[in-house]
Amino acid sequence: MKVLVCGGAGYIGSACAEYLIDNGHQVTVFDSLVTGHRDAVDPRAEFVHGDLADRDLIIDTCRKGGFDSIMHFAAFSLVGESMQNPSKYFRNNLANGINLADAAVEGGVKSIVFSSTAATFGQPEESPIRETTEQNPINPYGESKLCFEKVLKWYNVIHRIKYAALRYFNAAGASGNFGEDHNPESHLIPLILQVAQGKREKIMIFGDDYNTTDGTCVRDYIHILDLAQAHMLAMTAPESGHYNLGTGNGLSVEEIIDAAREVTGHPIPAEVAPRRAGDPDTLVACSDRAKAMLGWKPQFESAHTIIDSAWKWIQKHPDGYAK
């Protein structure tokens, strides 16, 4: 299939583009490079340097491209920043997303696979989180993603474009070629690995008084190649749908640090710091629907294999991508 990967120079989009090409698909990456990296674009993909705010460009790209499907990773994704600057989030994640949805209509695209998030659930009422769990975002980031899920629902009803909204839990790990390089970095695993690299003295644990077994927050870490597999399956699924993507195995911040100590052989000093605003105690997915409806089979179930893949990538790219 011909696939347009918007945000294909970013962390998850780059690995997904690579996975699609490895599986025989033809990929065009569209990316503004605002947060993505040119070196994260698979060299076998065509590349269009553009911003979804440029409505004419994305419509023109879709009219000429003859794409069967679009994967939409291009978004801002920092909860804290969204609480400071909601406009940035609603403009890019919602308004610019509508430009893409319109371009899909103009280009006769048959399906859109959308990067949604566990943040659409807010403080969930149940754990693990199912697709039927009520969505009540508690920040503009989660709200912007939920709004776009609804946009896609209506484009499906009216324009007959199939869609899949994939709610990722904590994306982690690396493929052989592509890994995580955010600036500034705020995610737990890459920060822990910076300690192992000697770039950072210690890891701060944001709160140890949560209602969890060891008091630190519990998250569901899912490998980016397992996310890529889910995207490829969703692209050809006969029906539209919403899917929660995680391993179903909740791990605390302390458990992740311990696993990283074992993988890297570094003591990784840690210090407890105050809670970070907006962190729920526990976010764990029930992914039974994706397994049943898409035939999704995650391959990387353990924290060790996920962290090991990230560690290998960092050792090959100690300073990330070329800046």
**Per CB under 6 A, does 219 bind ligand UDP?**
yes
**Among residues 98, 105, 177, 206, the one that binds ligand UDP under rule CB under 6 A:** 206
How is residue 210 written in tokens?
A: 């949560």
CA dihedral 129, 133, 135, 139 (to 10 degrees): -30
Which of positions 245-264 make contact with ligand UDP (CB under 6 A)? Answer: 253
Phi, psi of 265 (to 5 degrees): 75, 10
Which residues is 114 bridged to in the sheet? Answer: 72, 165
Residue nearest to ligand UDP (CB): 217
CA-CA distance, 271 to 288, in Å (whole number)? 36
C-alpha neighbours within 13 Å on the C-beta side of residue 316: 12
| Residue 204 near ligand UDP by CB under 6 A | yes
Print the binding letters for residues 55-94 with ligand UDP: x by CB under 6 A, - otherwise: ----------------------------------------
Scanning 11-19, 82-90, 187-195, 294-302 for contacts with ligand UDP by CB under 6 A, the matching segment is 187-195
Under rule CB under 6 A, how many of the chain's residues touch ligand UDP? 14
The answer to the question of residue 205 lying near ligand UDP (CB under 6 A) is yes
Q: Which residue, 66 or 267, has its beta carbon nearer to ligand UDP?
A: 267
| Contact map string, positions 147 to 176, toward ligand UDP, x by CB under 6 A | -----------------------x------
Q: Which is nearer to ligand UDP, 203 or 225 (CB)?
A: 203
Q: Give the list of residues 6+ apart from residue 294 with CB closer than 8 angstroms, or none.
A: 230, 233, 234, 237, 243
* 223: CB partners within 8 A, 6+ apart: 172, 173, 298, 299, 300, 305, 306, 309
Q: Under the criterion CB under 6 A, does residue 279 sit at the interface with ligand UDP?
A: yes
Side-chain half-sphere of 138: how many Cα atoms within 13 Å? 11
Quick one: DSSP state of residue 90?
I
Q: Residue 312: which H helix or E strand, with range? A: helix 303-316
Question: Please, which residue, 14 or 82, has the CB nearer to ligand UDP?
Answer: 82
Residue 30 identity (one-letter amino acid): F
Whether 141 is a known active-site residue: answer yes
Task: Decide: is 98 part of the binding site for ligand UDP (CB under 6 A).
Answer: no
Catalytic-labelled residue, pool 11, 141, 210, 243? 141
Asked whether position 41 contacts ligand UDP by CB under 6 A, the answer is: no
Q: Least separation, in Å, of the C-beta of 79 and ligand UDP?
A: 6
CA distance 269 to 302: 22
Q: For residues 26 and 194, which CB has a smaller minimum distance to ligand UDP in the complex? A: 194
Tokens read off for 213: 């077994």
Q: Tokens 């939920």 sit at which residue?
A: 146
Binding site for ligand UDP (CB under 6 A): 170, 186-188, 191, 203-206, 217, 219, 253, 276, 279
Active site residues: 141
